[in-house]
Each structure stands twice: as C-alpha cells, then as structure tokens.
Structure 1
C-alpha cells in the first residue's frame, strides 16, 4: 500500500546491532533492533551464541511481530552473545531468503553476518565465486562476503574476515559473530555509521546508531573508524586497520535516516538538522506568515529556519502513523489521493497564509506536488517549498534506495521547470556547500569527510558497468 508514496521517498537499507558477554544478550538485541526500526521495516533477525554454537530466528515484518515470546525464550536460553539486523532492501529484493543475519555452517565452524550498506562490485564477486563452486541461497550482497570468508585460506577468523572485506568495494558496516568473538567492520570510506558502547556490567555493544546504545543502557565509547575492524572477545577489544581511511560519511544520515537523538562522528543529528534550517533561510529567504515542516525529518529543519527568520513554526501537517505496508490495496481513486491517507492539514494554520513548507528532500517530486495541493486546497495564499537537501541528480549506490537518474526530478529539469511542475510560488534547495557547513564534521578538505555524490554525481568509489542493471533486476 502507498507504493507510489514510498517510491518517492529515500529508504535506508538496514540497521545492525551486536552485543558480547551479556546474559541478557537476546533481549537487549531485541531492544536495540526496536530502536533501529526506522532503518528497516521489511524483515528482522537475531542470531545468538553460548560460546560453543550459534542459533537464531529471522522473519519478515517489524521487530515486534518477528519475535513473539516463544521465540525469545529460545533465543535467551544460555546465550550471552548476539547480533541482530533490521532490513529495507536496496539490492537483493524483499524476500525471506534475504532477511539477515545469515547463519553460515561449515566444517570449520559457525559464524553469522549482518550488513548495512551496499557493495558495488557484488555481482562480479558473485560470478567469480559461482565459478569456483559456491551456491547462493539469496540475492543479497551480504552473502557474497559470507562466501568470501569461507573461501579464505587464512588461519584465523580475523584473518579470513580481513581478506574478505579487502576484496569488496562500496559501503559496508558489518557485524559478524563467531563462537568466540564479535567483529565490527566499517569500509574505508565510513559511509554508514557504526558505534561502540559498553554497559554497566562491562558488556560491549555495537550499533548502527547511538540511539540504540541509549535504549540498552550502554555508554558510548567511540565510533568504529573508516577502514577498521574491531575484534571483541574474552581478552577484550583489539582494533585493526585493514584499509587506509578516506572518510565520506553519507550526508543523508544526518539529514534523514538517523534518529535526531543519535550522534554520528561527534556530530549531533538534532543540531545538524537545525543548522540546515538556518542555512536554508540564509540561502533562500522569502516573505511568509508561517513555516511548516513535513514530518518527521523536515520538522527540525523547519525549527532551525524559524529560529533564524523569526517566522512562526507550526505543525501544519500531521502524519498518520498507522498507515503501513500491510494496509489494504487502494482503489485507483484512493491511489490518486494517497497522500491524504498519510498526511492531513491543520486547516486553520494554513488558510489565507503565505506558507513555507520544508521537507528533507525532493526525489521524484510526486509526493511534494501532492503536499502542495493539500496546502492549496486548505486555502494557503502562497506556498513556498524548501528542500533541506540539495537537488538530487544522481542515484546512490551505497545503501539508499533512490530512483534511477531518469526518475529523479532534479536530474532532468531546471529550477523553474521544477517550480512549475510542483505548482509552488517559489522553490529553493540547500546548497551543497551549505549542507557541508551545517553538518560541520571535524574533517579538513572541501567535503569535510562527507559524501555528496547524489547531489554532484561524483562518486567516492569505482563504479561497475553492470551494477545498476543487477540491482534493478533483483
């Protein structure tokens, strides 16, 4: 349901969680995955270990639905280590076979693996592995890394993991669980966040966002660095640098995906979004009576714009939280008006007023256009649309489910053409320079360790000719 609206939104691939040496490992992983539910709603899984063997459960759907009490009882029994995963598919498609973590059995032992990101050379590696006899059970790029680990001739788990991840190109934050250790791995660019924390009783925790550490009562220690493998075992924590770091954190983590109460590379997501609003006003001021944000991520940006401009900020759009993927398929008439199922207007805040509406981004523009129609139908005198993201002109290959280049509104239209299409009185985007300044990462250089490829078309990594076709096929 609401497929048209969902296709016009940015989607994060997934979130990962891991905990070592805690008798409540399964329960805390369940809590951690709930805190990361915003990063993926298609499927969830937990793999646990007692130090001798691994077992677990995976299911399609939300975390709360995937793990009934009878399943949690089985996961809690004698386990003290665990990893978990929530998924939204970008590569591989949505099917049970692709739900992670994957549990790998072989004569050499067990291990489980879960992944946040997207590998741009997955198809080439997969074909090579198939030629060597590998049989794949899924279409996920994560399984490619699992096979690489098992094909390694290295002696130790750490050496096998290092050899495997050194062959892949793209974005990855892995959590890997063996009988004896928990591993956290981040690609050389650090595209996706991964944080390390510790509970009061000394258990170590890794999670895609610090908000998950907060939920399980863990104190943040540090972020896993770009190009780093962290091994957590009975002897403590050991860090290995397997690749030279070239930081390029995804801009959309700060703008859209991460929870506002998360901290990424010492930057508060909440503060970054407010600064985006301030910068957006500086870039494109306009006379108006009220500012409204498109919930949820647009709301903080609107707050920052209001602080800078002095214009009142109101909750003029209310999100219906209970419209989800399982809702009955709409008729064509309902499909044409689907945005009304998701958002409703507080009419008395809008009627007769000059309105600035702030959203996190404009992808295809279809939802934005319908939001504008809602406001005009509610009696808005003027509608001025502001995007907290610069124009998205290129697809992402690092774990965000964006449209193809041809479907991106900003890729094929001028600013005036976009304004006319959306039927707004004015249209403006945050500039690339301003979003970099607003995030304010503590890195040197023009991009300050930030990936802006979807805004510029300049990708940090090598791309492969058949990659997009493979992703579309899946």
Structure 2
C-alpha cells in the first residue's frame, strides 16, 4: 500500500436534465480519484427517489446499463467514497437515502463532522436508531426532528448543530440543495448544462460532461434549486474561510480549478519555490508519479536541471493483489512503480514527491532507484513536514504514526536512505499558494502548523502528545 494520505470523497448533483443519472455517472467517473471504496447514485422522477449503491469503482458498480432506466428522472446526486468516518462497509455507502414525515431525502457528504459522535450520542439517548457508522447519518436524523416549513430552513437549522467540514448535496422529490461549511474546507463548484444546474466537488467533472463552469459555491453558502430556479442563502454566522491547502498539494486533479486557482499551476509553483529553497547539483529531476509530476516540472524549470520520467507507474493495479510465495523485495511498491535505468544509471537524481507520511514507501522507492544505478539521490518534498493529523475529512494516521512529528529532517533523511532531504517550508508553501480568491481568508494548514481553525468538543486520541 502506498504511504499516502487517502482521498476523502467526491460529490456530484444535477437538477433539470433528462439524462440526470447518466451525467451523474460520468461526473463520478471524473471524481474517482477522490474515493475508490464505494459509490452510489440517487435520482428523482418528481414523485419518488430511486437509488443504486455498491462497493467498488464507478465503472464496476454501474456496469449494467439497465440500471439507468431504473434511475429515472431529471435530477440526481452521486457520491464516491473513501471512508474517513465509519467503516468500509456497504451500509455506509452514500448517498444515504431515508423516508420521513415530509417525504424522502438523500444526502451525499464530502468532509468530516468533528462533533458527530457527541451529536449521535444525544440522538441515541433520545431514541434514534442508526443504521450506519457514518457521521453523515446524524444529518438525516436531525433533519427529521426540525419543524421549520421550508427545506432551506430545515437544512440550515440542522447544520447549525454540527461543526466541521462539509460540502453537501441533498436531493428530495422536487429540490436539490448544495451547501458548503462556513470555513469552506472542502471544494464545491456550480455549473450549468443545457439549462440544468450542476454541482461537483471539482471542475474536472464539468469538463467531461461539457458543462459551463459558473463559480464556486461560497463558504457558508446554501443553494436551493427547484422548478422556480436558483435561490442562494447565507444562513450561518460569518467566519474567516480556511479551505484545505492539501487539496492543492495532493487531492484535487491537476486539471481542476480549486479555490480560484488551477491546481496544476499551483503545484508547479510549489516546485519552483522548493528549488529556490533546496538547490542541489544534480543531473536529472524525476517525479514520483502521478502526484509529484507538476512540482517536479516546476523544480526542473527553476533549477535548470533536466526533467525526465525516471519512474513509470502501472495504472492498472487494483486495491489488492496476490504476492508470489517466493518473496520479492519491495513487492508492494514495485508492482506500482518501476525505474527507467537509462534515465537513472550513473546520475545524480533529484526525486520529487508531494509528501511523506510514515516514510516507509519513500524508503523503498529510494532503495529501488539506487538499485537502478543512481549515483546520488536527493529527495525533495513539495509540502512542509506533516506533523499533525487532519480531522476535516482526510484519512490521516495518528500523530505518533506521522514520521515528522517525532523525527528531525536529518533523522528522516537517514531513515529513507537519501543523500539529502528538503521539504518546502511553511512560508514557501504560503507564498506559492497565496490566499484563496473566493471568500477571502487563508488556507487551513493544520497538518503542518498544528493550528486547527475549528476546535473539537472532546479530546482526541492524540491529546497525550500535547496536540491540544
């Protein structure tokens, strides 16, 4: 398994198109990088909701074309999932759909509610019975209890109870609601296609279906779509937006526009600043594909050292594979990456990646590159040392599992066996990414700085390490 943070989730929604479920399928296909564990689609025909969900990739779960005749209607929402709260299980697959006093409703969620367990405990004490272990289910239980007349009022009342990161799409028989938390941790964009409104976690989903990108959903904004058109609300108190900087570092696709900027250009800038901060005499710059490629290009352009693809990735590796009985060293890495000896042999090599989490994979890759004949290996990381876990929708290890939380850069360098190691500084990161262009504020960099913009209602397991 790769030593990486895991992608969180992706959401998609469309209202007012005769091929709503088909387009949702394509939108989820474009967002597959945000979650490969499970996926689902819920559609509305104006009177009823229809659902199909399953474990696995989008193309596998929706392999049967006849599914789309059952997912009828002109509105639908979809979700791809990597679990950050709740187990990997069919019962946790989203969108979650329920029937209650006011009809049917479905919800898809990207993010993490930091007080979900506290709210869940109170709901269970008052008689609620949960069918999943996902934090998202607390939303529908709260929704069933709110007495406000309009859907917008009910959703806003529910979201005032929970805290944390959420980009959400709700679907009823006649309405679609999209909402982003006041801090704007997770991305959500608005588009239009043939008169239909479209929402997605990233703009790359719009490119595939040829939808027009209109704008980002603002932090703290709720948009309600019905037959009467679009209505925008700002029901929450004003806070300083703090979108997640790791979307630019790793999670988002390079061709997406996130928080007002193209991801590809930001990642190249990370590499440029990194080259200025940690220059080295070398013969070639190679990325760890795919996420390290733009930063490596930026490093090469700034340093004048040639860029080459020295590691080739196998894009057809599934989540599991059978290892032969005869042991193969570094099998898990070698099945995904293979060095190009002609590029590496006898060279002083700069290896660029976006992050180091535990360090185990970086160590294996460096040993593999050295075995391919590299004379020197200089590791360069296009983000600062990751010393703190994220509680806003990214699956990160506990703090004690993060190598940079308890080891110096030189200690990490010795462990991964590189000749030198350089991380992008926090100041360099902030210089390269700038401030969010939508809603103002600044980026959340809690995983580097330890500053958490939304506090927690109770101590986490890391509290004994002085995190709080």
Residues 450 and 428 (structure 1 numbering): CA distance in 2 closer, same or farther, change over 3 Å?
A: same
Whole-Å separation in 2 of the counterparts to 1:86 and 1:341: 25
Structure 1's unaligned 5+ residue stretches are: 470-474
The structure with the greater share of residues assigned to helix is 1
Residues 330 and 129 (structure 1 numbering): CA distance in 2 closer, same or farther, change over 3 Å?
A: farther
1:213 aligns with 2:222: no
The number of residue pairs the alignment matches comes to 461
- Secondary structure of the 1:383 match is strand
Whole-Å separation in 2 of the counterparts to 1:143 and 1:113: 9
Whole-Å separation in 2 of the counterparts to 1:427 and 1:341: 25
Which one of the candidate residues 284, 289, 302 is aligned to 1:290?
A: 284
Over aligned residue pairs, what C-alpha RMSD do you find?
Answer: 1.7
1:46 aligns with 2:41: yes
TM superposition outliers: structure 1 runs of 4+ over 4 Å:
329-332, 442-445, 466-469
Whole-Å separation in 2 of the counterparts to 1:264 and 1:384: 30
**1:376-387 equivalent positions in 2, closer than 5 A:** 376-387=370-381
- Secondary structure of the 1:261 match is coil
Whole-Å separation in 1 of the counterparts to 2:325 and 2:445: 39
8 Å Cα contact 1:267-1:441 kept in structure 2 = no
Which one of the candidate residues 12, 16, 22 is aligned to 2:17?
A: 22
Whole-Å separation in 1 of the counterparts to 2:42 and 2:122: 28
TM-score if structure 2 supplies the norm length? 0.95
Whole-Å separation in 2 of the counterparts to 1:281 and 1:336: 29
8 Å Cα contact 1:323-1:341 kept in structure 2 = yes
**1:80-91 equivalent positions in 2, closer than 5 A:** 80-91=74-85
8 Å Cα contact 1:436-1:448 kept in structure 2 = no
The 10-residue stretch of structure 1 (330-339 or 377-386) with the greater mean CA deviation from structure 2: 330-339
Partner of 1:231: 224
**1:171-320 equivalent positions in 2, closer than 5 A:** 171-199=165-193, 201-243=194-236, 244-320=238-314
Whole-Å separation in 2 of the counterparts to 1:313 and 1:464: 48
Partner of 1:472: none
Partner of 2:31: 36
1:102 aligns with 2:92: no
Deviations 1:269-293 (A, max 9, x none): 0100010110100111111000000
Partner of 1:11: 6
Which one of the candidate residues 425, 446, 454 is aligned to 1:453?
A: 446
What is the deviation of 1:468? Answer: 5.0
Deviations 1:194-240 (A, max 9, x none): 000001x2100000000001111111111011111111111111111
The 10-residue stretch of structure 1 (321-330 or 271-280) with the greater mean CA deviation from structure 2: 321-330
- Secondary structure of the 2:129 match is coil
1:414 aligns with 2:408: yes
8 Å Cα contact 1:27-1:72 kept in structure 2 = no
Residues 330 and 441 (structure 1 numbering): CA distance in 2 closer, same or farther, change over 3 Å?
A: farther
What is the deviation of 1:327? Answer: 2.3
What is the deviation of 1:425? Answer: 0.9
8 Å Cα contact 1:275-1:301 kept in structure 2 = yes
Which one of the candidate residues 316, 323, 328 is aligned to 1:322?
A: 316
Whole-Å separation in 2 of the counterparts to 1:321 and 1:86: 19
Deviations 1:139-160 (A, max 9, x none): 0001011111111121221111
- Secondary structure of the 1:206 match is strand
Whole-Å separation in 2 of the counterparts to 1:193 and 1:444: 11
- Secondary structure of the 2:458 match is coil
The 10-residue stretch of structure 1 (148-157 or 326-335) with the greater mean CA deviation from structure 2: 326-335
Deviations 1:273-318 (A, max 9, x none): 0101101001111110000000011011000011111100000001
Which one of the candidate residues 64, 71, 82 is aligned to 1:69?
A: 64
**1:387-406 equivalent positions in 2, closer than 5 A:** 387-406=381-400
What is the deviation of 1:132? Answer: 1.4
Partner of 2:466: none
Whole-Å separation in 1 of the counterparts to 2:130 and 2:272: 49
Which one of the candidate residues 44, 52, 60 is aligned to 1:57?
A: 52
Partner of 1:339: 333
The 10-residue stretch of structure 1 (331-340 or 428-437) with the greater mean CA deviation from structure 2: 331-340
Residues 226 and 448 (structure 1 numbering): CA distance in 2 closer, same or farther, change over 3 Å?
A: closer
What is the deviation of 1:463? Answer: 1.6
Whole-Å separation in 2 of the counterparts to 1:333 and 1:189: 48
Residues 410 and 105 (structure 1 numbering): CA distance in 2 closer, same or farther, change over 3 Å?
A: same
TM-score if structure 1 supplies the norm length? 0.94
Deviations 1:236-263 (A, max 9, x none): 1111112214211111101111111100
8 Å Cα contact 2:21-2:68 kept in structure 1 = no
Whole-Å separation in 2 of the counterparts to 1:260 and 1:45: 24
What is the deviation of 1:89? Answer: 0.6
1:118 aligns with 2:86: no
